Amino acid sequence: MMRVTTLSKKGFSLIELLVVIAVVALLTSVSMVAVGGNQARKLASNGNLIADLSKQARQNSISKGVLTALVLCKTYPNNQELNNRLLVLMELSPDSTTWRQLTKWQILPQGGVVDSSQSDSFISQVPNVETPISNLKYLGATVTDIAFQVFLPDGSLATKKQSSSGSVIMQPPVLSLSQGNINSRGDLVKTSSVNYYKITFNLHTGMTKIECP
């Protein structure tokens, strides 16, 4: 007598499907946390770079008895993606009539950028210095659209800004960084509305106060 073998197909049970879905959800959440943590670290690294530059500027003014400017390039003519990501220190000696470049240009890595909408007190308050900062170049292009703050020989900040009605006292300058990138049009595209890095400059001491989540 011939035996007929019947093959039965068995699908996944409901419990097995739920377990798979739970594992996938867990792996996805872990991955998102890792990516978010990495972006937050990049933002903090960018903020620390600016804080270190400001400390170097202050120390340079105190140790050498000169004016030192922390300069931010607001608009770079040849590459809009570099807007608000280029910084440099400039120095003016008492016996000099021109500023000289003190450091190489520093570029904030992608992932964190100066948020101009949150940094108005740094960008719009221009110290009233007798010798204008000029002849700035980066990769052969002349940089003219800048914001800057000046450290005096005692470590404090120059506390006057230019105004049509004369010089007025500045507010403490603030540089705020947001998590995001600059697109090809030069616009800030935020990747997080939670993470930020805020640097506030003390007018009287030149020291910085850092605030971040």
Half-sphere exposure of 67 (CA within 13 A, CB side): 23
Q: pLDDT, tens digit, for every residue of 161-199?
A: 766 666 677 899 999 999 988 787 778 888 887 899 999
Q: For residues 96 and 151, give the distance between their C-alpha atoms in angstroms, rounded to a whole number.
A: 16
User: Is pLDDT at 84 greater than 80 in this prediction?
Assistant: yes
CA 155, chain centre distance (Å): 23
Sequence letter at residue 63: S
Q: For residues 36 and 130, give the distance between their C-alpha atoms in angstroms, rounded to a whole number.
A: 45
CB 176 within 8 A of CB 115: yes
CB 150 within 8 A of CB 68: yes
**Which of the residue ranges 101-110, 130-139, 184-193 would you say has the lowest mean pLDDT?**
184-193
Q: pLDDT, tens digit, for every residue of 14-41?
A: 776 777 777 766 665 544 443 445 768 8
Ordered structural domains, the chain, with CATH: 15-211 (3.55.40.10)
pLDDT band at 114 (very low <50, low <70, confident <90, very high): very high
The alpha-helical segments, DSSP class H, found in the chain are 14-64, 120-123
Answer yes or no: pTM beyond 0.75. yes
